[in-house]
Amino acid sequence: MPVDTAPVEVTGWGRTAPTTAARLVRPRSYEEVADAVLDCAADGARGGIARGLGRAYGDAAQNAGGCVLDMTGLDRVRTIDARAGVVVCDAGVSLHRLMEVLLPLGWFVPVTPGTRYVTVGGAIGADIHGKNHHGSGSFSRHVVSLDLLTSDGEVRTAPSGTDLFDATAGGMGLTGVILSATVRLLPVETSLMSVDTERATDLDDLMARLTATDHRYRYSVAWIDLLARGAAMGRSVLTRGDHAPLDALPARARREPLAFRPGRLPAAPGFVPEGLLGRGSVGLFNALWYHRAPRARRTGEIQKLSTFFHPLDGVPHWNRVYGRGGFVQYQFVVGYGQEEALRRIVGRISGRGCPSFLAVLKRFGDGDPGWLSFPVPGWTLALDIPAGLAGLDGFLDGLDEEVVAAGGRVYLAKDSRLRPDLLAAMYPRLADFRALRAEIDPRGVFTSDLSRRLSL
């Protein structure tokens, strides 16, 4: 088995809190995964955790002193039912790869986050959501069944609706290693998007627009300028859309309506000076971005999939622009009816002047069945902040308290700093999750830095 026996330093996408795994194993078959897991079990306390493409922002896919199973070698698309729109694939297959394979057949992944470079296993483990959550729910809502390798080396099939499935969807890889999944797909006529863009002048305007019209769009998201203060607080750009129907395409594009050719720019340089993304530069970017959007609504603009869903994927290693200190992403949700809490939090963020140029607000639809799944019906805001910002830790702790008081929660796939004692209040089914884990993995073979930090 290809094993990198030298210790390997591992971080999340935010590049904070690096730790070193004693071993990195890259299994290429289910049998090799089973061997690796049994090795982890025999190893003792440090255990193992599966890792995909490393897009979790925090420490979910790192395991200090233990084993990390790089699952990207398990990358076979096993079967595609092109009539019913169902794919069976290995956990290490990326959504990018699925798009390459499925789009020409007229199918699309049911849910995609802001990057295509996540694996199917990671998508289930974090129970990711996308711009279509208000209508389509999270990724695992579209998973029919999954095969899970548990700590005893056995493979268990977990159909959706079972406890094992619900503990695994959003379970951050702690119930076992997902080997493969059966995913229901979304039919599309073209690989292009029809996009409406409009501006909202402030937070109330934005919430009103989203509330009134979100249901008309499959995909909906708002980018907020969190550095704008006073009357402009919460000014934002809404981009919403749907898969473009064939007849909406210009004649040239109709020749190859399902072509998938995402562009790619040069990678971010390996060294970026600290503090490049300060209040000045981000403020300038935000102002330009806001004013670039049309004052009146622009409708039916045809965009590439990659432009609409994954603009940052065009710049490999974009996480480097935050410099050596890395960055934290803060994403929380507060339920409908808690708009006042949302206003307060946005007010605190813009009042403090957090230089965040990636701040997005969207509405979640119904909650998902995963016990530790993040989405609940409500408003979710995500922002990136350089980790080196003075006093940021205490500031985010303060936001956590607002979130908890409003009955909300933060997203574990993005977390790198939550106070452990707030977790149970945020995730009411945590006790069930712990109980199931204790039952199927009594020795705690599946362990990550995240699980140690938060006592998951």
Partner 1 sequence: MKDAFGTPQSLLVLGGTSEIALATARRLIARRTRTVWLAGRPSPALETAAAGLRALGAEVRTVAFDALDPCAHEEKLGKVFAEGDIDMVLLAFGVLGDQARDEEQPLSAVRIAQTNYTGAVSAGLVCAKALQGQGHGSLVVLSSVAGERARRANFIYGSSKAGLDAFAQGLGDALHGTGVHVMVVRPGFVRSKMTAGLPEAPLATTPEAVATAIETGLRRRSEVVWVPGELRAVMAALRHLPRPLFRRLPV
- Binding stretches for partner 1 (CB under 8 A): 7, 9, 14, 16-22, 46, 58-59, 63-66, 325-326, 328, 387-388, 392-394, 416-417, 419-420, 449, 452-453
Nearer CB in complex with partner 1: 17/361: 17
Distance in angstroms (rounded) separating the CA atoms of residues 387 and 373: 25
Distance in angstroms (rounded) separating the CA atoms of residues 239 and 299: 10
∠ CA 289-294-299, rounded to 5°: 125
Per DSSP, what are the bridge partners of residue 159?
Answer: 145
Nearer CB in complex with partner 1: 23/141: 23
User: Smallest distance, Å, CB 417 to partner 1?
Assistant: 4
E-only strand ranges, 30-110: 48-51, 67-70, 77-81, 86-90, 107-108
Q: How far apart are the first and last CA of the chain?
A: 30
Distance in angstroms (rounded) separating the CA atoms of residues 294 and 298: 6
Instruction: State the residue for tokens 């934002």.
Output: 236
Nearer CB in complex with partner 1: 314/325: 325
Nearer CB in complex with partner 1: 46/199: 46
Nearer CB in complex with partner 1: 21/203: 21
Nearer CB in complex with partner 1: 58/171: 58
Containing 390, the helix (H) or strand (E) segment is none
Nearer CB in complex with partner 1: 63/182: 63
The SS3 assignment for 451 reads: helix
User: Smallest distance, Å, CB 406 to partner 1?
Assistant: 23
User: Smallest distance, Å, CB 25 to partner 1?
Assistant: 15
User: Smallest distance, Å, CB 383 to partner 1?
Assistant: 14
User: Smallest distance, Å, CB 351 to partner 1?
Assistant: 21
Per DSSP, what are the bridge partners of residue 108?
Answer: 186
Order of strands, sheet of 177-184, starting from the edge strand that comes earlier in the sequence: 77-81, 86-90, 177-184, 143-149, 155-159
User: Smallest distance, Å, CB 64 to partner 1?
Assistant: 4
The SS3 assignment for 6 reads: coil
Torsions phi, psi for 91 (to 5 deg)? -70, -25
One-letter amino acid at 174 equals L
One-letter amino acid at 290 equals Y
User: Smallest distance, Å, CB 50 to partner 1?
Assistant: 17
User: Smallest distance, Å, CB 426 to partner 1?
Assistant: 16
Distance in angstroms (rounded) separating the CA atoms of residues 400 and 128: 21
Nearer CB in complex with partner 1: 158/445: 445
